Structures are given as C-alpha cells and as structure tokens.
Amino acid sequence: MDTIANRWIQHAILLTAPLLTVIDVFIVNIAIPSIKDSLQATDSQIQLVITSYLLGYASFQITGGRAGDIYSRKKVFLWGMFFFILTSCICGLATNAATLIAARFFQGVSGAFMQSQSLAYVQVLFPEPKQRTKAIGYVGITLGIASVTGQFLGGYLSGLNTFIEGWRLIFFINLPIGLFAFMAAKKYLQNTHLNSSEKLDYSGVILFALALGSFIYPLTEGREKGYPLWSFLMLVLSLVLFYIFVRNQKKKLQKDLHPLIDIRLFKIRDYNIGLVLLTFYFMMHTSYLLVSTIYLQNGLNFTPYKAGLYFVVSGVLFMLSSFLSIRLVNAFGKKPIQAGVVLMIVVYILQLAFFDKKVSPSVLLAILPLQGLFGGLVIPSLINITLKNIPKQFVGIASGMYNTIQQTAAVMGICFIGGLFFSVAKANNDFVTAFHYSLYAKIVCLFIVFVLLYYIDDFKTHKPRLQ
C-alpha cells in the first residue's frame, strides 16, 4: 500500500547508500598510518588506497543513474549494495596493498551504482514539491553526517585492539549495516518503470570513465610525486577525451540513440550555476576535513581518537542545524543558505585569529564545532537548489552528474587546497602556518559560493520547458 509513511520508510532505506559510501571516503584517511604499517605499503600504494575508491566512485555515478533509468532503480540499488558489501569484506581481509587497492576501486564502483539511485528515487517517491524538498534535505544531512562520522570512526576503530587489527573494522562495519539495508530494500522498495526500449550507451560509459579518470588520477597521484610530466600529459588527454565525449553525445542525441548524458540538461541555467557552486563548496568542505585533522594530529600532537572526538561535537551540531535548515529553506528560500555561508567565513576568520600552536582545548571546543553548526545550514540545501528545476526525464542523469561533480570537487580540494597546505608545511615545517594558508583559500571558495547564490533563482520558480 502506497502511503506517505511507506514512502518515508523507503527513503530511510535509500539513505544507507550515501551514508555508507561517503563514510568510506573519509574513514580511511585517519586509519592510513595503521594500514600502511600492517600491509608494509609504500607511500604511493597508500595514496592509491584513497585514489582508487574515488576513481571508481566518481567515474560511474552517471552510469549508475542511467542504469537505474533503464533496468529499474530497485534492481540496480540491490546489486550495488550486494557488491559494496562484498568488496568491503575483501578490503577487510586484504593481506597486501595490491588486493586492497583493487578492492577499493570496485567498492567505489558498486557504491556509485547504489548511491546514484538514492537521489533519483526522491522524484518518484515525492512528487509534491514541499515533501521533495524535505526528502532531498535529508539526503544532504546524511552526506554531512557521514563525512564527519567517517573522521571519528576512522580514529576510533583503527585504535581498537581486538582479535583482528583495528583498521580492518572500518571495512567490516559495512557488513551488518549493508545486510540490513539490502534485506529492507528487497522487502519495502518499490519497483520503478522499466525503459526497455532504451539501451545503455556503453561507448559513452567507457569514454566518460577514461576522461574523468585521466583528470582525477594525475591530480591525486601527481601531487604526491611532485607533478611529473606524465601528470600534465594526462590532464591534456582528459580535456581531449571530454571534447570527444561531448561530440559523441551530441551526435547520438541527434540520431535519437539514447546517449549516456542528454546534453539538453545543461540548458537549465540554475543547474549549471548549482554545479559550479557545488564545486567550490566541496573543494572547501573536503579539504577542511583533511587539513584540520592533520593540524590537530601533527600541529597539536593529538591522537587520532582525540582528534576524532572534536568532530563528534561538530557532527551533532551539524545534524541539529540541518534539520532546522529544511524548515528555514521552505519558509525563506535561499536566504538561510547565504547566511550559513557568511557565518562559516566568520568561523574561519576566528580560527585564523585563535588557532595556533598553544590553542587551549576550551577554545578549540568553542570554535571548531561551529563549522559543523553553520555547515548544516548549507549542505542539505545545495542538492535542493541545484536540482529544483530538473524535469522528471532527466532525474537519473542530473543526480548522477551531481554526485560526480561533488566527488570530483573533493579531489580538487584535496589537490589544490590540500596541496597548498602540504607545500607550506613542508617548506616551513609548520603545520599551524600551513593550516592558516588553507583557511585563506577556503574563505575565497566560500566568497565565490556566496556570489553564485546571489545569481541562482530562489526556490519559488517554475520548471523550465526544454525544447
């Protein structure tokens, strides 16, 4: 029976996808030293443990969205969850770095297939605008909580001394949650309409994966190796491949051959602005979680567990303000988002003023969690403001592209802002100064986000008609 309560049960089940996949982006960061020692991995291999997941996760979001359009979202979600559980267990059982790297890549791919369904399902379950805004807000809340929770769990679990090494638990934790979500989805998740007349654009899938992979890989691995010549050549190759991909998709659209990405999607002005806004925000957000963790551990000599505790407070405040933001946005439009951005800039200015080598725990506890408090006003609504005018036929593609841009922005943030942090830290052997330089970069990103929010239409707009 299709009731409002039943729809929210289905939505809660679907939220396990962004929860698990985003936790697995961040949970590894703090556990990296333990993994490196256990598997006797090189610096290059340990970087690939992070990069391989991001490559798989970002490159197949759009493919996952289109697969859901064609083969049924429930079927794709279930298979994605099954392989995510399986690859997580392989990660936890890995006895060498090569096995872990390969398993992490396929963990990212399977995560992309299930995560891309969670956003697309919202349009099916909640056709009424206010309910849909609320549902998408919960997706944003889950993404934010997952990123903060990942930081804490990485430190806590990797420090446990049990019958197995603690770092393996960061992967095995996906097993009980994943199995519960799989069984619940199989029972409660409704089937979506099959587009049996369409076929998946396999050549488009390959072209897009190669283009995005050629962009992400040199940004992550190139930084670790000092940006050798091959990294620049790969970036040039990615531009060429993206150009070929766009031409390929336009030709298929003209011939009605069902391309991977319908280029007409990018005729929606607010969607384009939203994707640029998203890029700068998540460059800031992801790099902050990384460099603040390193500042606490290397600059202030905190243990991973102690550093993680500060993110717990931040996570609790994020959750509270996120629930509030859904109500505020429904009442006042984009103004609460703009206020959240301004307040985050104020928080970073306070951190510049007070965060040094001798900062007291009370000052840290008073200022650091404010990032979560005001971030909660922003993140849940970024999805809403970007996808608010998307016609139903573009839901799968638009959701997949949103997730792709978000993950690519995370890589760019780690590369550019994280790269600035590591360069200053290495040159001066001073993690505090490096942290301050990264804060300046984040303030610039937030200023750009604020300006873009001014130009994007408010929530009280009508859906555009595409020709």
Q: List the structure tokens of 277.
A: 């806004």
Per-residue pLDDT, 411: 84
| Sign of the CA dihedral running 308, 312, 315, 321 | negative
Model pLDDT, residue 79: 95
Q: Tens place of pLDDT for every residue, the chain, 467 residues?
A: 456 668 899 999 999 998 999 888 878 877 777 888 889 887 778 778 887 898 888 889 888 888 888 888 899 999 999 999 999 999 999 999 999 999 999 999 999 999 888 888 887 788 777 787 788 778 878 877 787 778 778 777 877 777 788 889 999 999 999 999 999 999 998 887 666 667 888 899 999 999 998 998 888 777 777 788 999 999 999 999 999 999 999 999 888 888 888 888 888 899 999 999 999 999 999 889 888 888 888 888 887 778 777 878 888 888 888 888 878 887 888 899 999 999 999 999 999 999 988 888 899 999 999 988 999 889 888 888 888 778 877 877 888 888 889 888 988 888 889 888 988 988 888 889 999 999 999 999 999 999 999 998 876 544 444 44
Q: Which of 36, 143, 194, 46 is nearest to 399 (CA)?
A: 143
DSSP state of 166: G
**What class does CATH assign to 265-457?**
mainly alpha
Instruction: Name the class of domain 1-200.
Output: mainly alpha
Please report the pLDDT score of residue 462 as a whole number.
Answer: 45
How far apart CA 299 and CA 435 sit, in angstroms, is 9
pLDDT of residue 315: 80
| Residue 392 DSSP class | G
Q: Is the CB of residue 140 less than 8 Å from the CB of residue 382?
A: yes
What number of other Cβ atoms are within 10 A of residue 431's Cβ? 21
Helix ranges restricted to H, 15-42: 16-39
DSSP assigned state of 299: I
DSSP state of 256: T
What does the alpha-carbon distance between residue 347 and residue 368 come to, in Å, rounded to a whole number? 8
